[in-house]
Chains A and B, each alone.
Chain A
Amino acid sequence: MSGPAMKTMNMIEAINSALDIMLAKDPDVVIMGEDVGYFGGVFRATAGLQAKHGKTRVFDTPISECGIIGVGVGMAAYGLRPVPEIQFADYIYPGLDQLVSEAARLRYRSANDFICPMTVRSPFGGGIFGGQTHSQSPESLFTHVCGIKTVIPATPYDAKGLLIAAIEDNDPVVFFEPKRIYNGPFSGYYDRPVEPWSKHEGSAVPDEYYRIELGKAAVVREGEAVTVLTYGTMVHVVKAVVAEHGIDAEIIDLRTLLPLDIETIEASVKKTGRCMVVHEATRTSGFGAELAAQVQERCFYHLEAPVERVTGFDTPYPHSLEWAYFPGPVRLARAFDKIMKD
């Protein structure tokens, strides 16, 4: 029995493969952004795509995030399926009005007269010494807006399947790519050698088209003692800490923050009776606050301890003190100690 041809891909290669497939499959797909054309993107996610699919399908843009996203809304109104890249999530703010007031509202305000099937890709998160303007995790700004889906993959396999589903979705999607794990999963130990994706099962990626449905979480480790809700880079950090300390945690990679897979979350927390929420973003009003609220609303009488939040601190992302800021193994171990004692 032969399945689809598999390749070992890192996350960049998986994203590139998804874009390549969608450009070939759907003539309405258009990719644009700063440096994405001839050069192939600062992280190489669009490498080779302009040469293969042509300049009107994959092209560079002025340095104007408002323009990039606003033009994308207009292209979507025409009937195209734009996939703009915002070079760093930290640069997305000039385009925020076009996302929040336009892309997200177009279907609703026009009662389905116009729609906006646009996927905004953007590398996000820290751990690369990017300083305060190349490290942020602004996902909760987007989950707070009605009308946008927010997707964050944690493996090459998921990145490809989720990105294809996002591009095919008829609503606007913000697709945040955890840039720390573009080239390999991250244990949280920044002083250890980087492990390549090839040693991780998530790097086995079918060559061909496949979709991973938006709104479905993945249980990446089954366990009985505590449920950990996380996404992106932190999935791998949590896995490493859990392995190191021998904790029987059930780790859930949310993959899509909105719509949220509440069924998987609820079933797991009711089983384990404890819940920890982990993200790299700042703590106050972070997505963890929403997760903690959902869990206590649905699972209060099953909880044996307060929901624990492990997050970045409420400061701008510091450059030299990055590893004191990052919610790494020490912060996680202390939180596990606390939640298991309670």
Chain B
Amino acid sequence: MDNKLPESFGWSWVEADMAKSKKDNLAPLHLHIPEPKFRPGDVADFSDIIIPAVDVHPRPDEHVLPADIHPLAYGLVRVLDENHQATGSWNPGLDVATLQVMLRKMLLLRAFDDRMFRAQRQGKTSFYMKSFGEEATSVAATMALDFNDMCFPSYRQQGILITRDYPLVDMMNQIYSNRGDRLKGRQLPIMYSAKDYGFFSLSGNLTTQYPQAVGWAMASASRGDTRISAVWCGDGSTSEGDFHNALTFAAVYNAPVIFQVVNNQWAISSFSGFAGSERTTFAARAIGYGIAGLRVDGNDALAVYAAMQWAANRARNNGGPTLIEYFTYRGEGHSTSDDPGAYRAAEEYALWPLGDPVTRLKDHLIAIGAWGDAEHDALIIELSEYVKTIQKEAEQNGILGHGLHHPFETMFEDVFEEMPWHLKEQCAQMLEEQQDKFGSNWKAR
């Protein structure tokens, strides 16, 4: 060897070691690749999930120091007990009318999801994503905010729009990318934007909304405004750098922002272990940043409401950010593009120990004598019919791929405020192509 070290270094062992890098006297290293407990063909068993009783960790004062509530990042905020009663210090004490609205919104969301999923299967659009099983994490959370608070959603929070009474027909027009689509057919279905409803434009890239929500909250604080922001992401996308950058900025500037992680256990086919859930909870990420962290039963709509209300009050009183983990379960596939039967055990949702959020809220209303099975069934039918009626209205504006889209030249609008020359040139070229393709009267199409 040319690069032999001089003997005088006393390092002649280096040469031998380089030739044989593995030491016989040490146990070999091994790489851990996380594996979910159950795969197709298995029967899921969730008996190892610890479900603490209501109020094991009572509701602290909203001005509490984050360091004094670390157990809340590992526990589980719950309100509804085994007898469907709202109990404990976290009970938000909502009146019957509000509870009925909450149930109605969750059922409307479910009806909307069912209808739109079916529309995709019928070839009326390219893509859809349901929020089945995690409706409470958008509906109940939004109800605890003021209408003027700004929501920065991820892709499964259509419940925010439904809770804020955004027109369903506009949601459907967007899903169909038709001529009524407010977003001019530019975005993948469900990537809504509704500034007037406090709903930030969905990107499609994951967790980019996290630092943006912090920036919005910082702007609000710097202006002496009273509005706060709330942002959602999934368990999987907490791995993105944006998540950690956002928490750093929020902690540094004590921004009035509420971070929510919808831990529905699955990121397409990757279980939450690939985001670190084998080591700690997602709520516990807050501890390292010195902000408040709450882990919440995401299928208990009242617990979701209570946690959000606590965090919103805290933020609005300059108490700073909170990270909330909603422990829930993605009841169906990630989207219309995957089959969960190919990567996880069947019946997992039916066996989920925290139940179904709609059923639990319904059972609570029945338990307090404010609801009945017959009323519930009638409401499901009513909402389903309502969604169908709206769907017919939306389809008057067209479905994807059937010609009733926005005019061709809109493709070039809104890249910039004013269209520069190169886009004008390219627009003219595209219009000529349409003429070649469809003939001289193509504009009539």
For residue B221, which residue of chain A has the nearest CB? A56
Within 8 A of B (CB), among A286-331: none
- Closest beta carbon of chain A to B214's beta carbon, Å: 6
> Nearest Cβ distance between residue B231 and chain A, in whole angstroms?
9
Task: Let me know if A1 is at the binding interface, CB within 8 A.
Answer: no
Partner of A110, one of B193, B205, B220: B193
A107–B194 touching, CB < 8 Å? no
Tell me which of B152, B249, B415 contacts A108 (CB under 8 A): B415
Q: Mark B226-249, 1 if CB is under 8 A from A, else 0.
A: 000100000000000110011011
A32 CB to nearest B CB, Å: 9
Given contacts A61-B249, A67-B248, A101-B205, contact A107 B417 (CB under 8 A): yes
A147 interface contact, C-beta 8 A? yes
Identity of the chain A residue whose Cβ is nearest the Cβ of B195 in the assembled complex: A113
Given the contacts A79-B219, A101-B203, A260-B422, A74 and B213 also touching, CB distance less than 8 Å: yes
Contact status of A71 and B203, CB under 8 A, knowing A62-B249, A66-B241, A259-B420: no
Asked if A74 and B416 make an inter-chain contact with CB atoms under 8 angstroms apart, the answer reads: no
Does B203 lie within 8 Å of A74, measured CB to CB? Answer: no
State the CA gap A64–B243 with chains docked (Å): 12
User: Which residues of chain B have C-beta atoms less than 8 A from A73's C-beta?
Assistant: 211-212, 215
Contacts of B217 in A (CB 8 A): 74
Residue of B nearest to A60 (CB): B252
B216 interface residue, CB < 8 Å from A?
yes
**Given A66-B245, A70-B208, A97-B205, also A107-B215 (CB < 8 A):** no
Closest Cβ of chain A to B217, distance in Å, is: 8
Task: Assess the B218–A64 pair: CB atoms within 8 A.
Answer: no
Q: What is the interface size of chain A, counting residues whose CB is below 8 A from a CB of the partner?
A: 47
Residue of chain B at shortest CB distance from A63: B248
Alpha-carbon distance A260/B249, docked complex (angstroms): 36
Which residue of B150, B223, B416, B420 contacts A107 across the interface (Cβ within 8 Å)? Answer: B416
Is A80 close to B, CB under 8 A?
Answer: yes
Q: In the assembled complex, which residues on chain A have CB atoms less than 8 Å from the CB atom of B203?
A: 101-102, 105, 109
Q: Are A67 and B416 in contact (CB under 8 A)?
A: no
Interface centre among B184, B187, B216, B414 (most CB of A within 10 A): B414
B249 engages A112 (CB within 8 Å): no
Residues of chain B with a CB closer than 8 A to A170's CB: 417
Chain A residue nearest in CB terms to B245: A67
Does A146 interact with chain B (Cβ within 8 Å)? yes
Q: In the complex, are the beta carbons of A262 and B205 less than 8 A apart?
A: no
Closest residue of B by beta carbon distance from A117: B417
Does A72 belong to the interface (CB within 8 Å)?
Answer: yes
Quick one: closest A residue to B241, CB to CB?
A66
- Is B182 part of the contact surface with A, judged by Cβ < 8 Å? yes
Measured between beta carbons, the chain A residues less than 8 angstroms from B223 are: 78
Interface centre among B183, B211, B241 (most CB of A within 10 A): B211
Closest partner residue, chain B, to A71 (CB atom)? B215
A149 to B420, CA, bound (A): 11
> Is residue A39 contacting chain B, with contact meaning CB distance below 8 A?
no
Of the A-B pairs whose beta carbons lie under 8 Å apart in the complex, a sample of 22, sorted by A's number, is A30-B219, A56-B222, A70-B242, A71-B212, A71-B215, A74-B212, A75-B218, A76-B215, A77-B150, A77-B215, A78-B220, A79-B219, A102-B205, A107-B417, A108-B415, A109-B183, A110-B201, A111-B414, A112-B414, A114-B193, A114-B201, A171-B417
* Closest 10 pairs between A and B when the two form their complex, measured CB to CB: A74-B215, A70-B211, A71-B215, A74-B212, A67-B245, A78-B219, A259-B420, A110-B201, A110-B193, A74-B216
